[in-house]
Amino acid sequence: MLCGFPVNSKHIRSALVVISVAVLCSFSPVLYIIAWHLRHGSTVTFSGKSISVPLGWIVDSYDYTAIGITKPPRCLPCGTRPLGTASISKLRYTEGKDEAEIVKNWYRTASGLTQGTNLVLSSRNEDHLTCTRTSLRSRPDWVNLSCLAYPSMLDAEFLGRTKDMDEYLAIARSMR
């Protein structure tokens, strides 16, 4: 007897099944992430480039103009808000324009909007990745990064935890 109730193996099995289902459901985001990567792999092709999707991230929206990459929470009790989001799109109205002018205009717009710090992350044989970084006053442990990869002319925006910035930069570097 347990708490005044008779206990038999059927009750114990039923309780174990309920507990197991509850645990699996609470960690369902991890199961979904694993399933997504088993089905799609670790890259997605966008605008002729193979974009890296690190483990823990999934592509949640995709069309011919942009893709959205999200880092879901690890478990449902941890919350339902994503831990980070990235949006990648092709710069518009760049046909026939000078690359240096395009980059200068992008930087002027990005740094004017974010009041950020310029980071030139790489400069290798005409493949460049330029980013601006802004810390959020309301969430000091979060950061906003805007990156331009050229000559591919892909623009990426990241909003997420500062500790996930390396994962995001891996995504951004794959855009070059």
pLDDT digits (tens, 9 = 90+) for 133-146: 877 778 888 888 88
pTM of the model: 0.69
Whether 70 maps to a domain, the answer reads yes
Whether 76 maps to a domain, the answer reads yes
Report how many domains make up the chain.
Answer: 1
Residue 78 belongs to domain with CATH number: 3.40.1000
Whether 115 maps to a domain, the answer reads yes
Backbone angles phi, psi at 164, to 5 degrees: -95, 5
Whether 3 maps to a domain, the answer reads no
Whether 1 maps to a domain, the answer reads no
Whether 123 maps to a domain, the answer reads yes
Residue in 38, 73, 80 with CA at minimum distance from that of residue 164: 73
Domain extent, residue 79, equals 9-173
Which letter does DSSP use for residue 45 in this model?
A: E
Q: Which residues of the chain have pLDDT under 70?
A: 1-9, 11, 20-27, 75-80, 93-96, 107-127, 176
Residues 150-171, buried b or exposed e (16+ Cβ, 10 A)?
Answer: bebbbbbbbbbeeebbebbbeb
Whether 161 maps to a domain, the answer reads yes
Whether 65 maps to a domain, the answer reads yes
Q: What is the pLDDT of residue 122?
A: 46
Q: What is the pLDDT of residue 161?
A: 87
